Amino acid sequence: MVDEWVWSVLLLALGAGLVILEIFFPSAGLLGFLAACAILGAIILGFMEGPLFGFIILALAIVGLPVVVVLAFKYWPRTAIGRRVLLMSPESKDVLPEDPKMARLKGMIGRVAVAKCKMLPGGAITLDDRTVDAVSEGMPIEQGQKVRILEVRGNRVVVRPLEDEELSETSEDPLRRPIDSLTPDPFEDEKK
């Protein structure tokens, strides 16, 4: 004949198994109810065997069941039903289509362009006879001023005006440079 402690351990294992089944195969609480009955029966049979064994079964139920539930929920997203229920966040390559315009804009980073209009801070620039929407880093840019393309945000490129020393390095033809980079501003206050 089998002792009560064997039945108690078997009922505890059955209860843990039913909890796992309830997590993986939802049954509207039926498996959860059966798991609770099995665990309660294991605790009662444990105390019928003796108080020490009853407290051991009770401690196993209190500590072991949360561990089983946490491990089951950790493994659950990798199961077929878990993948159907939980929506995994898509990667950018899955969501964003192959956009030749965006690839062309990213290819412009680091190049020098010319402001087509006054940028306060948004406007347009011209690069390779193409007009592109752009935004400056926060400072105003005059029409005709050379700018360097820093990055792409959305459909706009972020630009920064070139300094005088950068202009001399990047300008192939000095006649194509803006006139105000060659001569001082006549309206500037001379009292400085």
Q: Is 88 exposed, middle or buried (0-12, 13-18, 19+ CB in 10 A)?
A: exposed
Of the three residues 33, 66, 85, the one that is the final residue of a domain is 85
Q: Is 18 helix (H, G, I), strand (E, B) or coil?
A: helix
Residue 30's domain comprises 4-85
Among 65, 85, 105, give the residue marking a domain's end. Answer: 85
Hey, is 129 helix, strand or coil?
coil
Both tokens of 162, joined, read 């070139």
Check: pTM over 0.85? Answer yes or no. no
Task: Give yes or no: residues 81 and 100 share one domain.
Answer: no
Pairing of strands 130-136, 156-161: parallel
CA distance 107 to 149: 10
pLDDT per residue, tens digit, the chain (192 aa), is: 567 788 889 999 999 999 888 888 878 889 989 999 999 999 999 998 889 999 999 999 999 889 988 988 888 888 877 777 777 777 766 676 667 777 787 888 888 999 999 888 888 999 888 888 899 887 888 898 899 988 888 777 899 988 754 545 555 565 666 665 556 666 666 554
186 domain residue, yes or no: no
Q: Please indicate, yes or no, whether residues 176 and 100 belong to a single structural domain of this protein.
A: yes
Pick from 32, 65, 85: which residue ends a domain? 85
> Is residue 76 included in any domain, yes or no?
yes
Structure tokens at 141: 């840019």
Count: domains in the chain: 2
